[in-house]
Amino acid sequence: MQKEYAILKKCGLSITTSRKAILDVFLQSSEALSHADIERSTAPAFDRVTVYRTLQTFVEYGIIHQIPTTDNSVLYALCKDECAVGHHQDEHIHFICILCKKTSCLEHVEIPKVNLPKGFEPVQTAMVIKGICLHCTD
Amino acid sequence: MQKEYAILKKCGLSITTSRKAILDVFLQSSEALSHADIERSTAPAFDRVTVYRTLQTFVEYGIIHQIPTTDNSVLYALCKDECAVGHHQDEHIHFICILCKKTSCLEHVEIPKVNLPKGFEPVQTAMVIKGICLHCTD
DNA sequence: GTAACTGCAAAATATTTGCATCCTT
DNA sequence: AAGGATGCAAATATTTTGCAGTTAC
Residues from chain B contacting residue A98 (CB–CB below 8 Å): 123
Long-range Cβ contact pairs of B64-67 (< 8 A, separation 24 or more): B64/B26, B65/B90, B66/A70, B67/A70, B67/B32, B67/B94, B67/B103, B67/B105, B67/B126, B67/B128
B131: Cα within 13 Å, side-chain hemisphere:
21
Report the predicted TM-score, pTM, of the whole model to 2 decimal places: 0.88
- Amino acid identity, residue B15? I
Distance CA(B97)–CA(B133), nearest Å, equals: 5
Q: What is the pLDDT of residue B89?
A: 61
Closest by CA to B51, choosing from B20, B18, B96, B16, is B18
Residues from chain B contacting residue A70 (CB–CB below 8 Å): 66-68, 74, 126
Confidence tier at A89 by pLDDT (50, 70, 90): low
**Does residue B5 reach within 7 angstroms of strand D, measured from its CB?**
no
Q: What is the pLDDT of residue A76?
A: 96
**In sequence order, which residues have a C-beta less than 8 Å from that of residue B87 and are 6 or more positions away?**
B62
Across the beta sheet with A33-34, the strand order is A33-34, A75-78, A64-67
Predicted confidence (pLDDT) per residue in A12-43, tens digit: 999 999 999 999 999 999 899 999 999 999 98
Interatomic CA–C1' length for residue B49 and nucleotide D16, angstroms: 9
Give strand D nucleotides closer than 7 A to any protein Cβ: 4-10, 14-18, 23-25
Q: What is the pLDDT of residue A56?
A: 97
Q: What is the pLDDT of residue B79?
A: 85
Q: What are phi and psi of B88, to 5 degrees?
A: -95, 130
What does DSSP say about strands B92-97 and B121-132: parallel, antiparallel, or unpaired?
parallel
From residues 35-54 of B, which are strand C contacts by CB within 7 A?
46-47, 49-50, 53-54
Q: What is the pLDDT of residue A79?
A: 86
Q: How many CB pairs under 8 A join A and B?
A: 131
In this structure, what CATH number is given to the domain that contains residue B88? Answer: 1.10.10.10
Of all residues in chain A, the one with the smallest CA distance to B108 is A117
Give chain B's end-to-end CA distance (angstroms, integer). 35
**Does residue B70 reach within 7 angstroms of strand C, measured from its CB?**
no
Answer whether B59 touches A (CB < 8 Å): no
Confidence tier at A82 by pLDDT (50, 70, 90): low
- Strands (E) located in chain B: 33-34, 64-67, 75-78, 92-97, 103-110, 121-132
Residues from chain B contacting residue A96 (CB–CB below 8 Å): none
Contact B135, B99 (CB under 8 A): no
Q: What is the pLDDT of residue A124?
A: 86
Per-residue pLDDT of chain B (138 residues; tens, 9 = 90+): 578 999 999 999 999 999 999 999 999 998 999 999 999 999 889 999 999 999 999 999 999 999 988 888 899 999 876 556 656 565 788 999 999 989 999 988 888 888 999 999 998 888 999 999 999 987
**Does residue B16 reach within 7 angstroms of strand C, measured from its CB?**
yes
Nearest 5°: the CA angle B56, B67, B46 is 40
- Residue A118 forms beta bridges with which residues? none
Range of the domain at B14: 2-137
Stretch A93-107: mean pLDDT, rounded?
Answer: 91
Q: Which of B74, B109, B132 comes nearest A70 by C-beta?
A: B74
Domain count of the fold of chain B = 1
Q: What is the pLDDT of residue A129?
A: 92
Distance CA(B59)–CA(B75), nearest Å, equals: 11
Q: What is the pLDDT of residue B113?
A: 86
**In sequence order, which residues have a C-beta less than 8 Å from that of residue A56 and are 6 or more positions away?**
none
Interatomic CA–C1' length for residue A49 and nucleotide C16, angstroms: 9
Q: Report the SS3 class of residue A28.
A: helix
Contact A112, B111 (CB under 8 A): no
